[in-house]
Structure formats: structure tokens, C-alpha cells
Amino acid sequence: MERIRSAIEKARAERQRNLEGQPLPLSAGQTVPHEEPANTPAIAKAPKPEPRPAVITQMPTPERTDQWMRLEGFQPKPALMKRNRIVSFEGGQNAVSFDVMRTRLLQQIRANGWKRVAITSPGSSCGKTTTCLNLAFSLARQPELHTMLVEMDMRRPSMAKTIGLRKQQMFAQVLAGTEVPEDHMVRYGTNLAIATNHRAAANPAELLMNSRIGDVLSDLEDRYDPDVMIFDMPPMLAGDDTLAFLGHVDCALLVVAAESTTIKEVDLCEQDIARQTNVLGVTMNKCRYLEEGQGYGYYAYKD
């Protein structure tokens, strides 16, 4: 683990030497300066989202509670959740790593007035959807918080299958403006809303690049007033879907897989995220060997 952390820091230092002495982002909210090679077209830099007043310390209003309770209820089967490694569903010792991640996430969004959090990965099979679900169910155990989990990986949606949701939701139709949100969301308990897609969308890139997507997200916030919105994004190096959407979120967390994600991929993705929004941090998944004191299963989370 220490070798991996050192390698990433070395890559950041190398990048810094190549950027004429400009500082590196070592904490959330900082950006990564980047120079495009001479033969590479420049990518337009999206404006960073402005901080919004944090509301997650407020108790739910009756109007918000009523709106959430109108969503169709859903109760996952504990055996299926355990089999699919959604350990935060029942909590306990196995969920400690995600509870710690939850606490650090809440500290950051409270300090910065953030609400919208994208979770992505360099490539497939890094465990980002599992991370999203575990984080969402961990947040759901905080009764004063209302959390919305939205599946934006519309090329290979897997969230409904993972939690055993048979309702054929298609949140892509909400993004397209042809359906209302409540028809494509379910509610777990009283404070977790889950929006999924039961099949791949025909035009995910166009949906995420559509100029009206900002209005769709604002409408969701106006309707449900969530304290935290988690977006399960596609892998960054598999296409341009995530890059098209990052300008609409306050921050992004990168999930990498031990022994498969390369240092170069982490460095490249961090730069791409930083051009569009705030880099929340990097979390490592699938760690088979941990050093003493590293049992939480993550590293380099930026305070």
C-alpha cells in the first residue's frame, strides 16, 4: 500500500516539474494545472460550480418528508446484498470502511457547501457501483440526511440487478425530459432515493451533453431537497460521458482497483477531473494485502 501511495505522489511531483512550478492539488477544492501536448486539441475548461450553502445540518421539513414518502418503497433482500458485497446495508464491523468514508465525505461537503458528488473510475471493474451503493446505504443510516443515488452509467447499468430491483426504471427518460422523476425512482426507508436504468440507454453521451441536463438536476433538487446527491458515473477512460457531466457536480471521487489500475491512469484521470470540478480524492478498492493500520481500505483521501 505504501509503495502505491508513493508512486502516485511521485507521479504528481513529476507533473509539477513539468508545469513550470505550479502547485499540485493536495486537498479537495484545488485544481490541477495541465498543459496539452502541441499535437493535441485543447479541451475547454468548464467553470467550477459555485459553493452552495450547506443544508445537511437541518432537520427534514414536513413538506420534504411528504415528497419523499410519495416515492415507491423498496426493501432489498439482506442475503442478496451480502452476496453482492453491499456491506453497509446491515452495518456493523464490515461496514466500517464505508462509514469512515461517509464521515469524511460529510466533513468536506459541509465545509464547502457541496451537494452533488460524482463517483467514477479509470476503467471498468474497479468497483465504483459497489462503492456508490455502500456509501449511499451508509448515509441512509443517518436519519437526518436525505440522500439521492442516481445511476448515470447508462451504457452498462448494473445497480438494479445488484440490489434486486425488478421495477423497470429508466432514469435516462427523465434526463431526456420525457418522464417524471417519481416514476423512475424508489425509496429505501425514509431518506434514500435510488434512480436506476434497467437497460442500456440508446444515446447516453447525448443525454449527458444536453444543455437541459442542468435544469433536470435543479428540478430534482427543487422537488426533493436532497442533502447529498451521488452520481454513479461511467469509467472515465471508456468514453466521454463522464467528462461531459462533471461540470454539473461539486466534486468527484475516483475509485481505483489495486493491482489493475496503473499510476498513469490515476494521474490522467485526476487531471481530467480537476479541469472540470473539484477533486475530492482517490479511494482504492480490491486491496488484498493491507499494512497494519490501513484496514479502512482507502488511501490518499484529501482533507
Do the domain assignments include residue 262? yes
Nearest-CA neighbor of 5 among 206, 32, 13?
Answer: 13
User: Domain limits at 219?
Assistant: 2-29+48-285
Q: CATH code at 245?
A: 3.40.50.300
**43: in domain:** no
Helix (H, G, I), strand (E, B) or coil at 118: strand
Report the domain count for the chain. 1
Q: pLDDT band at residue 70, thresholds of 50, 70 and 90? A: very high
Give pLDDT, residue 293: 46
Environment class of residue 3 by beta-carbon count within 10 Å: exposed (0-12), middle (13-18) or buried (19+)?
A: exposed
Report the pLDDT averaged over residues 173-202. Answer: 95
Instruction: Decide if 205 is inside a domain.
Output: yes
Query: Full-prediction pTM beyond 0.85?
Result: no
Task: Give the mean model confidence (pLDDT) for residues 155-176.
Answer: 95
Question: Is residue 98 situated within a structural domain?
Answer: yes
Domain-located, residue 303: no
Whether 20 shows a pLDDT value over 60: the answer reads no
CB neighbour list of residue 172: distance below 8 Å, 6 or more residues apart: 154, 197, 201, 204, 207
Residue 302, in any domain of the structure: no
pLDDT digits (tens, 9 = 90+) for 47-58: 555 555 444 444
Of the candidates 290, 289, 284, which has an alpha carbon nearest to the alpha carbon of residue 8? 284
The answer on pLDDT for 124 being more than 50 is yes
**299 located within any domain:** no
Q: Is the pLDDT of residue 80 over 50?
A: yes
Residues in the chain: 303
Residue 115's pLDDT band, with cuts at 50, 70 and 90, is very high
- Checking if the pLDDT of 292 tops 50, the result is no
Q: What is the mean pLDDT of the chain?
A: 82
Comparing CA positions, the residue from 111, 122, 119, 116 lying closest to residue 28 is: 111
* Cβ pair 1, 291 in contact under 8 A: yes
Residue 235 lies in a domain: yes
Higher per-residue confidence, 161 vs 25: 161
Question: Amino acid identity of 124?
Answer: S
pLDDT of amino acid 285 = 82
Q: What is the pLDDT of residue 49?
A: 56
pLDDT at 252 over 90: yes
Does 238 have pLDDT greater than 80?
yes
Q: Which three cell numbers stand for residue 190?
A: 425514509
| Chain segment 133-152, per-residue pLDDT in tens | 999 999 999 999 999 999 99
- For the cut 70, the answer to whether the pLDDT of residue 59 exceeds it is no
In this structure, how many other beta carbons lie within 10 angstroms of the beta carbon of residue 144?
Answer: 11
